[in-house]
Amino acid sequence: MAALAIAGGAIGYRLLDATERAPTDRSGLPADPLAELERRAEADPDDAAAWQELGFAYFELGRFTDAARAYERATAADPDSAVLWSSLGEARVMASERDPMPPSARQAFRRALTLDQADPRARYFSAVEKDLAGDHRGAIADWLALLADTPPGAPWETDLRRTIEQVGKINAIPVAQRIEAAEAGRPIAPAAMAAIPGPTAEQLAAASSLRPDEQRRMAEEMVAGLATRLESEADDIEGWIMLMRSQQTLGRSEEARAALAKAVAANPTQRARLQAAAQALGIS
């Protein structure tokens, strides 16, 4: 139960603030951003990104049942997205009043892992399921494996480490040296990464000032927003490189390769630059 108590803020990310794109009224003040998200989603039932943003907004407001419904619409529109399925699973967990891991949530997490075995949220909650079943050592082992794959500085890193420490303490399982070993084994970004576009210092500072529950969705939501923008601004080479880097950092290699393919198709004269960046990022 300790792991589940942390779960709501442990794995996940934050998209862009809905107010950034919300229309303004005649006074110049932002109109109701939630109403705008609802309008956009209902206007195009097949727009998975719109339903994803609405689901996120509901989740942040604590309206978990509504969030689950929105993510259900998102997965219906895009059934091959692991992120959407793991988001749905998390919303179902938080919406459940009695069962800490309802069957519908387990089903969503398993679907996510079928699509992407590296999905961090699905991996986290799969370990939570083990912990709830009494397999504390198995849960800790899975969380340590996730920690070993977690990029240093990832939004969920601190909460994940705290989960391992607390579950270890409650169940008298030594974890300090194992945490140290997991963190020591993480790959260091190559020097070439310095030339790859990434978050600005201001963006990082803003992220560090957010509450943990706000931080947990930032990376995923920013990636989704960037991918959506590039659909209409396909000539933004740095944007494509940032998208590849973001997908790779999140452990979504297939999505990173897909972004490379789309970028090259839209900008054939920039093939060499795009492929060089992909190579530096470890995208094959």
Q: What is the CATH number of the domain that holds 77?
A: 1.25.40.10
137 with 51, same domain? Answer: yes
Looking at 187, 216, 240, the residue that finishes a domain is 187
113 with 228, same domain? Answer: no
131 with 251, same domain? Answer: no
The total of structural domains in the chain comes to 2
Per residue in 127-136, pLDDT (tens digit) is 999 999 999 9
- Report helix, strand or coil for 254: helix
244 with 146, same domain? Answer: no
| Structural domain range at position 101 | 1-187
Sequential pLDDT tens for the chain (284 residues): 445 544 443 343 332 233 333 444 444 444 577 888 899 899 998 988 889 888 988 988 889 999 999 999 999 999 998 889 999 999 999 999 889 999 999 999 999 999 988 888 999 999 999 999 999 999 999 999 999 988 776 767 888 999 999 999 999 999 999 999 998 877 554 443 444 445 544 454 454 444 444 444 566 777 788 888 888 888 888 888 888 887 877 677 788 888 998 998 898 888 878 887 777 777 76
Q: How far apart are CA 213 and CA 194, in angstroms?
A: 29
Q: How far apart are CA 150 and CA 270, in angstroms?
A: 31
31 with 82, same domain? Answer: yes
Q: Tell me how many degrees the CA angle 81-129-137 measures, rounded to the nearest 5.
A: 125
pTM over the 0.85 mark: no
204 with 136, same domain? Answer: no
124 with 259, same domain? Answer: no
178 with 194, same domain? Answer: no
Lookup: tokens for 242? 């940032």
Looking at 167, 187, 207, the residue that finishes a domain is 187
18 with 34, same domain? Answer: yes
Report the length, in residues, of the chain: 284
Per residue in 108-128, pLDDT (tens digit) is 999 999 998 888 899 999 999
Helix ranges, 30-102 (H): 33-43, 48-60, 64-77, 82-95
149 with 181, same domain? Answer: yes
- Report helix, strand or coil for 109: helix
Looking at 169, 187, 205, the residue that finishes a domain is 187
